[in-house]
Amino acid sequence: MTLHLFNPENDLALALGCRHYTPPPHAAALHRAGALMPSLWADPGDAILAPGQTSFDPAAVTRCSPWGWSADARRQFINAGVSPDILPSDADIMRMRMLSHRRSSVILLNLIDLPHLAAREITDPRLVVEAEQASPGIWLKTPWSCSGRGVMCASSLDPDALLRRAAGIIHRQGSVMVEKGLTGKLLDFAALFTAHSGGTVTFDGWSVFRAEPRGAYCGNVVLPDDELLALILSTGHDPRPFIPALTSALSAHIGGTYVGPLGIDMMIHSGGIHPCIELNLRRTMGTVARSLALQRHRGLLAWEHTSRPSGTPLLTPAFGFALTLSPL
């Protein structure tokens, strides 16, 4: 039996790297509101670890499948009575934490021979200011963050404010990632993969998602793979030639350490395709959208921060959140 856990706070837990993590109120509310979301992809006979849930036999659990792995996720399973023997070790968790760092995108871009697209990892905040002065409109990204959070355009700050912001990120997470801005965005999308226990990685399909101009996630398009690909190709660009190289690079970079679903965010812009904006070493909303599409659902999958959603709820709205599916 597989025991599932929806822990959307996982990237925040990775940033701190501690075993006992207390998420901020917003993340804690989302965790509780979406606790039963794994029911959308779990197999018959599986169980879900949800707040207050005690209706499963820990001894029957043979596999654990969280939204993402961290020391805090491991603790939650152990506290539920799961044997540590079937969980990643502390050393495994530390390796996965480092692979979840945004520098993984730099490593992957180098492995597929596109180093000129890679971000810079900076540990001196003064160099961030110099980078913005040399190429106005750079983007700052915290090493561990998700759903477009921890991402900001430097042009919105004066040099002193930029210096303080960069210094704060470096103080909290050890470094900051700096990227040149891409102009004329046409489409946000991702390639979805699965990493297997033997160290191999296989390509699963596509994810097309919507984001605000500042990068915050808005929702996923739920359509069959062939229709998602047609939507991507309608931009005049084809990402398929990147998949073999990325599959090989992922096998080399994460093979043998991480097992489970993952995604690589991409972007089509006026200059072409950026094939590796970032690596999400966890389940993503794109994998959820794909599960729904395989069940013949269609629409826009999104979290609405309201108790009165406009879309059709897929889960009972709770704690101010509703997971919905709306017409495209």
Structural domains in the chain, sorted by start: 2-89 (no CATH), 115-179 (3.30.1490.20), 187-297 (3.30.470.20)
Nearest to 249 by CA among 276, 229, 286, 269: 276
Average pLDDT of the chain?
93
Strand ranges (DSSP E) for 168-294? 176-179, 187-195, 201-211, 217-222, 260-269, 272-280
Question: What's the pLDDT tens digit per position in 2-43?
Answer: 999 999 999 988 888 777 888 889 889 999 999 999 999 999
What pLDDT does 104 receive? 96
Nearest to 307 by CA among 326, 324, 288: 324
Position 193 confidence tier, pLDDT thresholds 50, 70, 90:
very high
At residue 326, the 3 state secondary structure works out as strand
Question: What's the pLDDT tens digit per position in 144-189?
Answer: 876 657 888 888 889 999 999 999 999 999 999 999 888 889 999 9
User: What number is the average pLDDT over the span 298-318?
Assistant: 92
User: Any alpha helices (H) in 178-262, and if so which ranges?
Assistant: 225-233, 243-254
What pLDDT does 16 receive? 83
DSSP state of 132: H
DSSP state of 318: B
Q: What is the pTM of this model?
A: 0.93
Nearest to 312 by CA among 328, 293, 295: 328
Over pLDDT 90: what percentage of the chain? 80
Question: Would you tell me how many other CB atoms lie within 10 Å of the CB of residue 91?
Answer: 9
Does residue 138 contact residue 301 with C-beta atoms inside 8 Å?
Answer: no
What pLDDT does 148 receive? 57
User: What number is the average pLDDT over the span 58-68?
Assistant: 95
Element (H, E) at 290: helix 285-294
What pLDDT does 15 receive? 86
Question: What's the pLDDT tens digit per position in 217-250?
Answer: 899 999 999 999 999 999 999 999 999 999 999 9
Does residue 264 contact residue 191 with C-beta atoms inside 8 Å?
Answer: yes
**Which of 147 and 81 is assigned the larger pLDDT?**
81
